[in-house]
Structure formats: structure tokens, C-alpha cells
Chain A
């Protein structure tokens, strides 16, 4: 027996409480809570007295006042007479726009890079490697600025625009592309497309059932492809191309008509996508190579074809490894889109956290809104990830 126990009866109440497992954990937590609370109390009290001394209050009234600044690219109607709130919505939509397009392009390029990195061709493999290493090891802000600089400096003025078959024009003021206007018959095509998707979902299940029951295989992929793409395309031409494209035309110093994609958007979109694609490429490569050779060999030994091995054995396992880090790359892309402010693309940070903040002097309110918006995005994405992880765990059982 050691000293501590011998002296036990003399221990005072404090040390007795401290040595009890449950009271100790309560004591530690009370202290921690008090410290955290004191810290926040101190900050909030400072904030209140600081705001008072300069005669400011906390209010969201400024959101309903006119913004009086312009936004060059907006998905909804917006002018300088619109409110700050509307400006914020424009900012949110612009962030989402670049995030959605970025995720799509980054995924396509990323999977391509991943596959190239696994290619047996030494040259392609090394090219993909050099690309990935270059892109990953240079800050994304630099990519954005470099690309923006190249677009603004290297592309010609509208009068000398790069002409892509008289329909699209690349200039340093933006990319001018045809804008579609839809005739009523177009909605038939759109309807067929949606119907095609539903059909293929049903057909896949049906084919699966037939296969289970009789062992017969349908060429599911080709039939679905035909239903989703083939029939709508056919219908489009049979109905006499029911989309009218408005082609931009050079009027004076600039193009009129059609749609314009601003160089800021292009630079941000391409740079973010290519940057994220490099990371996705590595994730895809790692995911696929993590599936041991043994798995492919076992499948091959069973006599499955190369395509079936990929489809039935490698890809389902690789996706489990790939998807969680892939989602966090999507989240990174969304967060990195906040760098838009460096080139003047009007996203959340640049609208409410930038111009609105500077004009109204509402630092507290604006920054809180910005932080909350980003937290919401990441909460949504990470709850999707948790849901997915749970689903995978169920499958494993």
C-alpha cells in the first residue's frame, strides 16, 4: 500500500471530491464551461460597449435599403436600386453557380486524370502526373489570378474577337455565346428526356428482375442510353429543331444579343475546377489502386470479362473509398470559390461581405451572415456524407 492511501482519513473534503471519478468529471466540466462562458461574456461585453461608444446598434434593417452598386453578372433581375438583401441573394446564387459548374467540370477532369494516372501508357501516365503535381503545389489563388490575367490580357478586344464558327466569340470582355429561346414544341423533347430517365430507372429494375428469374441479360446500358439521349435527340430533329438560338452580333464596340459569360466567372470556374480536379485525380487513383490485385484476379479466375470485373467488383469497392474524400473536395471547391473577390466576381463574400459591408459599415451583421451561409453549405454537404457513410456501413453488414 502506498502513502496516499495511508493518509486517506486526513484528506479534506476538496481532495475527496476531486478524487471521486464522477465529481471530478463534473468539476472539470464546470470549470471548462465557466472559462468558455467568461471568455464569450468578455467579448460580448466589449462588443456592446464598443458599439455604444461609436453609436452603433445591431440591426438587419440595412438589408432592406437600396444597395446602390452594380453587379455585372446576375442570375436574377438586379439593379443598383435593388436592396442589399437582393444583392446578397445574387451573391449566393453566383457562389452556387460557380460551385455547381465547378463540381461538374472538376469531377469530369478529375476522373479522367485518375484514369490516365492508372494508364499503362508510360507517357500519358507521366503527363497526368506532372499536371497533378504542378496544379496541387501552387496556391489556388495564383491559378485564379493567372488565368484571369491571361483572359484579360491575352484575349482580343471585341472587334478582333476569336470567332468560333460565327456562333461564339471569345473576347477579353467575356465569352459571347448564343442564347436559346424555347418554342412550345421543345417541351415535348424535354418531356421525352425526363420520361427517358424514369424509363431507364424502371427498366434497370425490370432487367434485374428478369435476370434473377430467368438468367437472361438485356443490354441495359445501350437501351437506357437510347431512351435518355437517343429518343429525345431524334424527336428534336423530327419536330424541326424547336430551339431558336440568338446569335451575338458585333454592334459598335461590343457584342449584343446572345449570352455573355464574364471573364471573372470563366477564370474562377476553370481555375477552381482544374485545381480541384488534380486532387480528385489523386483520390480516384488511390481509390482504384487500393482495391487489391487479388480482387481483380479472383474475378478474372471466375471467368468474368474485363468490363464486368470493373463494373461488379472494382468500381463498387473503389467508390466506397473515393466518395467520402470526394465530397470533402466538393466542399473545398465551394469554400475556395470565396476567392472570387480577388478578381471581382460577385459571390457571397464580395457582395454582402464586401461592398455591402463597406457601404453600410455593418461589419458584425454582414460577417455573421456570411459565416452562417458557409456553415449551412458545409453542414448540408457533410450531412450528405454522413448519410452516405451510414448507408455503406449497412451494406457491409
Chain B
């Protein structure tokens, strides 16, 4: 561990936290997308973030690996604060894996090459080692036999599982999921969720934007509800679903559970 060597060190208490977001604001031009977001994620915690579309939930988790820049407040990921320092950004990105709604697999590379790309070019792992690492994770997501195909030849569910394996190949400590199942056909959602549930049992820190309430109930330690760029409510899943406090939470839950 090298956190204590940081010049941009966070407070000592940060050692227990994987992600600390303090008083964070973000604007798109004039539009205030994120308003005073505060969130502490302990190591190994599983968090599900939900909320209506446009509530800022995707933007928030994209801030965690600096895909989006925040304008005010602090974000500290695994002891490293996200500032303008590119070294810090690079360090955070290689520690944090991300899975996108539209998979974003590289169509010109095979499944195997997609998985080994970052280990080879970012971690400078020898190719043979990267290959065996990739194979290991492809087995975990149960598609080792597709290793030499191109993404375009796979189904949506398979592609998303490759995307998960691709992120895991960097051995991240934190995984971000940005609506991983909402671009999938219904019959493929389960295969992706199964992989995610298995992953959750392994002690990795997960932040997941999703509307899969079954998944939230099984896996999450905490559910966060966002609306209008603010965190409206957070609670343990049982309480959150059975006894929502805020009116907007009640409305949202009634809309997604009754459709």
C-alpha cells in the first residue's frame, strides 16, 4: 500500500473507504447536474444506485473514474484524490473497472485481444501472462470458448460478460456498472446478473447503476436513490423497498415495480 506516500492525501479515516465523495457539484454548461453529492463507500461494499432517467446517477459514477470532470468538492478513490494531476487520474483508472450500458467492446479486436489490451499496454504484462489471465476471467464469465471470436459475432449478453471480464483483467478493486443490463434483451439479463452476483460474493467494491430491483435485494449492502442531481434517500435494501421515506422514492418505486 502506498497511500501514505501521497501528497494529495486524504484524511487518515479514508483508509477504510474505497470511495469518498464530499460536497461534489457538477455542471454541464449552465445546467447543474450534480448538487452537493456526499457518499462514502467502505471497502468491499456493494451499492446499488437507482433513480429516474436524467437524475444524474450515471454522471455520478462516471465522475468516479474521471470520465466526467467535477467542478466542486472532492472525490477520493482508494486514497487517491482526483485532481488535475494526470498521474492520479491514470492511477485511479487502472484501479477502477467500468462496465458500460452499450458494452463498448472494441469491434476490431477479438474477445481475447479486448481482454489483454489494457494489461499489455497499461500494466506492461507479458503477452503470455496476459493471455492466461484473460482466459481465467473468460472462464469465470463462462465464455472461454468464444475467446477468438469478434464482438460482433456474440449475443448482447455474451458481449456484456466479455466487457466484465475485460474490466476484471486489470484486477480492479472497485467496479462501476453503468446500467449494465438495460441494453439487453430480457432473456439475456439473467446471464449477466448471475455473473455480477458471483462477483459480488468475492469482496470487490461495487457501485452499480441499475433498475434490477431483484439484484439490489440479493446483493446490495445499501441502495441509493437519486433524483434531480441529488441523493434523496439511502438505506439498506429491505428498509428501502419496504419502507421508503421520501415521496419521490415512493413514486419511483411504485412506477418501476408496477409496470
Bound form: Cα–Cα A291–B84 in Å: 48
Contacts of B94 in A (CB 8 A): 2
Which stretch (A19-27, A144-152, A194-202, A326-334) binds chain B?
A19-27
The reply on B258 being an interface residue by CB < 8 A is no
The one of B2, B86, B89, B90 in contact with A6, judged by C-beta atoms closer than 8 angstroms, is: B2
List chain B residues, Cβ under 8 A from A138: none
Q: Is the CB of A5 within 8 A of B87?
A: yes
Q: How far is the CA of A178 from the CA of B90 in the complex (A)?
A: 78
B91 near A5: Cβ-Cβ < 8 Å: yes
Q: Which residues of chain B have C-beta atoms less than 8 A from A9's C-beta?
A: 5, 7
Instruction: Please tell me if A8 contacts chain B, counting CB pairs below 8 Å.
Output: yes
Structural contact, B5 and A8, CB atoms closer than 8 A: yes
Point out the residue from A6, A19, A22 that lies within 8 Å of B5, measured CB to CB.
A6
B1 near A20: Cβ-Cβ < 8 Å = no
A1 interface hit (Cβ, 8 Å): yes
Interface-centre pick from B80, B85, B88 (highest chain A CB count, 10 A): B85
B3 within 8 Å of A by Cβ?
A: yes
B16 located at the interface, meaning its Cβ lies under 8 Å from any Cβ of chain A in the complex: no
**A1 B7 Cβ-Cβ under 8 A:** no
A-side contacts of B2, CB under 8 Å: 1, 5-6
| Given the contacts A1-B1, A1-B91, A2-B91, A8 and B86 also touching, CB distance less than 8 Å | no
Q: Specify which chain B residues have a CB less than 8 angstroms from the CB of A4 in the assembled complex.
A: 87, 90-91
Chain B residues numbered 62-88 whose CB sits less than 8 Å from any CB in chain A: 78-80, 84-88
Write out the residue numbers on chain A whose beta carbons fall within 8 Å of the beta carbon of B90. 4
* Chain B 1-51 residues near chain A, CB threshold 8 A: 1-3, 5-7
A359 → B minimal CB distance (Å):
58
Contact with A along B78-122 (1 / 0, CB 8 A): 111000111111110011000000000000000000000000000
- Considering the chains assembled together, what is the distance between the CA atoms of A21 and B3 in angstroms? 21
In the bound complex, residues from chain B placing their C-beta under 8 Å from that of A24 are 86
Q: Across the interface, do B80 and A21 meet the contact criterion of CB distance under 8 Å?
A: no
- Contact between chains at A20 and B85 (CB < 8 Å): yes
Using C-beta atoms within 8 Å of the partner chain, give the interface range for chain A: 10 to 19
Q: Is the CB of A21 within 8 A of B86?
A: yes
Nearest CB in chain B to that of A16: its residue? B85
Q: Which residues of A contact B78 (CB under 8 A)?
A: 1
Chain A residues whose CB sits within 8 angstroms of the CB of B88 once the complex forms:
5
Q: How far is A122 from B194 in the complex, measured between Cα atoms in Å?
A: 58
What B residues does A21 contact at CB under 8 A?
84-86, 89
Docked complex: A2-48 residues within 8 A CB-CB of B: 2, 4-6, 8-9, 16, 19-24
- Chain A's closest residue to B79 (CB) is A1
B85 touches A19 (CB 8 A): yes
- Which residue of chain A has the shortest Cβ distance to B86 in the bound complex? A19
Bound together, the chains give a CA A16 to CA B3 distance in angstroms of 18
State the CA gap A1–B171 with chains docked (Å).
12
Shortest distance from the beta carbon of B194 to any chain A beta carbon, whole Å: 32
Contacts of A19 in B (CB 8 A): 85-87
Report the nearest B residue to A4, measured CB to CB: B87
Output the least CB separation between A27 and chain B (Å): 12
CA distance A284 to B86 in the complex (A): 50
Q: Which residues of A contact B84 (CB under 8 A)?
A: 20-23
Which residues on the A side are within 8 Å of B89 (C-beta)? 21
Bound-state CA distance A66–B53 (Å) is 74
Other-chain contact of B80, A5, A16, A20, A22 (Cβ < 8 Å)? A5
Contact residues in B for A2 (Cβ distance below 8 Å)? 91, 94
Interfacial chain A residues near B1, Cβ < 8 Å: 1
The residue among B5, B79, B90 with the most chain A CB atoms within 10 A of its own CB is B5
Alpha-carbon gap, A254 to B89, bound state (A) = 82
B123 (CB) vs chain A CBs: closest residue:
A2
Closest CB-CB distance, A29 to chain B, in whole Å? 16
CA distance A17 to B89 in the complex (A): 15
Give bound CA distance, A6 to B86, whole Å: 15
Inter-subunit contact A5/B5 (CB<8 Å): yes
Residues on the A chain within 8 Å of B7, using CB: 8-9
- Nearest B-chain residue to A23, judged by Cβ: B84
Interface residues of A in 247-270 (CB under 8 A from B): none
CB nearest neighbor in B for A5: B91
Q: Report chain B residues within 8 Å CB of A16.
A: 85
Please report the C-alpha to C-alpha distance between residue A21 and residue B82 in the assembled complex, in whole angstroms.
Answer: 11
Contact in complex: A8, B3 (CB < 8 Å): no
- What separation, in Å, do the CA atoms of A2 and B125 have in the docked complex? 13
A16 to B87: give the CA distance in the assembly, Å: 9
Shortest distance between the CB of B95 and any CB in chain A (Å): 8
In Å, the complex CA distance between A230 and B91 comes to 78
Could you list 28 A-B pairs, sorted by A, with CB under 8 Å?
Answer: A1-B1, A1-B2, A1-B3, A1-B78, A1-B79, A1-B80, A2-B91, A4-B87, A4-B90, A4-B91, A5-B5, A5-B80, A5-B88, A5-B91, A6-B5, A8-B6, A8-B87, A9-B7, A16-B85, A20-B84, A20-B85, A20-B86, A21-B84, A21-B85, A21-B89, A22-B84, A23-B84, A24-B86
Listed from nearest, the 9 A-B pairs whose CB atoms lie closest are A1-B2, A21-B84, A6-B2, A19-B87, A20-B84, A19-B86, A5-B91, A6-B5, A19-B85
Residues of A within 8 A of B (CB): 1-2, 4-6, 8-9, 16, 19-24
Given contacts A1-B78, A8-B5, A22-B84, 9 further A-B contacts (CB under 8 A): A2-B94, A4-B87, A4-B90, A6-B5, A19-B85, A21-B84, A21-B86, A21-B89, A23-B84
